[in-house]
Amino acid sequence: MMTKYFIGIDGGGTRCRARLEDAHGKLLGQGEGGAANIMRNPAQATTSIVDACTRAVAASTLPVQLKEITVGAGLAGANIPSACHAFSNWQHPFDSLSVLSDLHAACLGAHDGQDGAVIVCGTGSSATRCVNGEFIDIGGHGFLVGDIASGAWLGLKAVQHTLLALDGLIPRDPLCEAVCATFDVQDDSALIQKVSAFEAKDYAVLAPAMVTLNTDGDAVARSLFDEGSAYLRRIAHHLLDNSNLPLCLIGGLSDTYKPWYDESVRARIQPCKSSPEQGAIAFAKQSIKQGAQQL
């Protein structure tokens, strides 16, 4: 049976987006839901996915039912085999559901399903390359053990730096002042209390101020971006060396880090051709064509 409707999901640690298309790729409606990380909270992920899809359908004002729709879902945590396996038991309401990681969906979207590499650096960081449909991932391990160079990583470093300054172990400086101003705190105990329940996204709130400080020539901010960029450069060479793959940079910190890449890497950078949601739809279509098992 030829499915008339497709939804692509881009599901991350804070929200998920759904894009409803017809068989020709025409956008019919879009919707958003909550977090969709199937390792951290699979129950919440199912709710968020259904919410986002329901809203995308409602936005289309078409008489489409979820059970008619072929869904491709790029989901955070889908790179963890056991999380993916556990999630496959979900009795979803769609015609079919093909799951891949949010990173792979982004890569497929960015390169329109062709071979290529992506480095994502926003709240988190991760990277992958796709050659002949085979992915090799780097990073994407999540805060706090991974996500080096990301907004969350930068923000945590800034808080740690600020605590040294508030303790009198190093001088107070513009980064310390920016952290105290952002969180409206004056001393270390107020700062500790403020961050006591922080998640990655809460630390990442500091990133824009740090980008500004770096642009203004602040040495401490600069040293943190230097440290982050060393990781991203290492990733870029690991992804691209001995290939002629194009590279897409994705995420809110991509432009900031771009000057730090070597010229040979910068020459490969291209704009994204389409979105992660579109990448997820392409994956679902490919899965059906290949007769792969859908959920």
Q: Which of residues 123-152 bind a copy of itself (CB under 8 A)?
A: 138-139, 141-142, 144-146, 148
Q: Which of residues 77-96 bind a copy of itself (CB under 8 A)?
A: 79-83
Site string for a copy of itself, 169-198 (x = CB under 8 A): x------------------xx--xx-xx--
DSSP E strands in the chain: the ranges are 5-11, 16-22, 27-33, 69-75, 96-101, 116-121, 125-131, 134-139, 247-250
**DSSP secondary structure of 70-123:** EEEEEEBTTTSHHHHHHHTT---SSSEEEEEEHHHHHHHHHTTTSSEEEEEESS
Reduced to 3 DSSP states, what percent helix, strand and coil does the chain have, rounded to the nearest 5?
45, 20, 35
How many of the chain's residues bind a copy of itself (CB under 8 A)? 32
Residue 75 as a binder of a copy of itself (CB under 8 A): the answer is no
* CA separation for the pair 75, 97 (Å, rounded): 12
Q: How far is the CB of 70 from a copy of itself (least distance, A)?
A: 28
Peptide bond into 144 cis (omega under 30): yes
Q: How far is the CB of 112 from a copy of itself (least distance, A)?
A: 27
Residue 238 as a binder of a copy of itself (CB under 8 A): the answer is yes
Binder among 18, 149, 159, 206 for a copy of itself (CB under 8 A): 159
* Binding span for a copy of itself by CB under 8 A among 3-11, 48-56, 163-171, 274-282: 163-171
* Angle at alpha carbon of residue 155, lines to 172 and 41, rounded to 5°: 150
- What is the token pair recorded at 43? 């129950």
Q: Return the closest-CA partner of residue 15 out of 127, 102, 139.
A: 102
- What is the token pair recorded at 223? 């040293």
Q: How far is the CB of 37 from a copy of itself (least distance, A)?
A: 10
- What is the token pair recorded at 113? 């399903």
Q: Answer for the pair 25, 282: CB distance below 8 angstroms, yes or no.
A: no
Q: How far is the CB of 121 from a copy of itself (least distance, A)?
A: 15
Residue 234 as a binder of a copy of itself (CB under 8 A): the answer is yes
Residue 258 as a binder of a copy of itself (CB under 8 A): the answer is no
The smaller minimum CB distance to a copy of itself, of residues 167 and 216, is found at 167
Q: Answer for the pair 39, 21: CB distance below 8 angstroms, yes or no.
A: no
Residue 15 as a binder of a copy of itself (CB under 8 A): the answer is no
Question: Within a 10 A sphere around the Cβ of 238, how many other Cβ atoms?
Answer: 14
Question: Within a 10 A sphere around the Cβ of 67, how many other Cβ atoms?
Answer: 9
* Binding span for a copy of itself by CB under 8 A among 53-61, 108-116, 215-223, 234-242: 234-242
- What is the token pair recorded at 78? 């889908």
Q: How far is the CB of 186 from a copy of itself (least distance, A)?
A: 12
The smaller minimum CB distance to a copy of itself, of residues 99 and 195, is found at 195
* Binding span for a copy of itself by CB under 8 A among 3-11, 227-235, 240-248, 254-262: 227-235
Residue 242 as a binder of a copy of itself (CB under 8 A): the answer is no
Binder among 39, 45, 207, 221 for a copy of itself (CB under 8 A): 39
* CA separation for the pair 74, 220 (Å, rounded): 36
Residues that bind a copy of itself (CB under 8 A): 39-40, 79-83, 138-139, 141-142, 144-146, 148, 156, 159-160, 163, 167-169, 188-189, 192-193, 195-196, 231, 234-235, 238
